Structure 1
Amino acid sequence: MKKLSLIAVALLLSACGGSSHDNGPVLPLPTPAPVLDAFYIRINALIGSAPEDTEPQDVSAVSVTEPEATEPVGG
């Protein structure tokens, strides 16, 4: 029985790590471009063009939109 166990262990160890197959470097997936909706574009325009020493602009007229076919973008 001991001899059979030693043969099994020897076969198991000989099968490990003997591969000469090389896949090459793994290329990372490109990050998808974020989908910009009308609300995001409008608010960015307001932020970018508003100096800090003026009164805030009313953003209630801008409707909040959310594309239904995409995942939420965290930021």
Structure 2
Amino acid sequence: MKPYIERASAAGLEWVKSSYSGNNGNCVEVASLPGGGRALRDSKNPGGPTLTMSIAGFDAFVRSVVDGDLNQP
């Protein structure tokens, strides 16, 4: 699996934004990939690059965010 999709808009994926997202435009959207895995993109740049990862990698990423492991000092 490539670590990114260069043109997300060409991928034909169904993107979902969290219900916790506000209207400030600073959102991350997620899509399920046809062969499994997840794709993430910046909602401000829907045609831009997209990060892809396995389902296990996505679950670990979400756990790290929830646990605060990715907070900057």
Shorter-normalised TM range: under 0.3
- Structure with greater proportional helix content: 1
Bigger radius of gyration? 1
- Structure with greater proportional strand content: 2
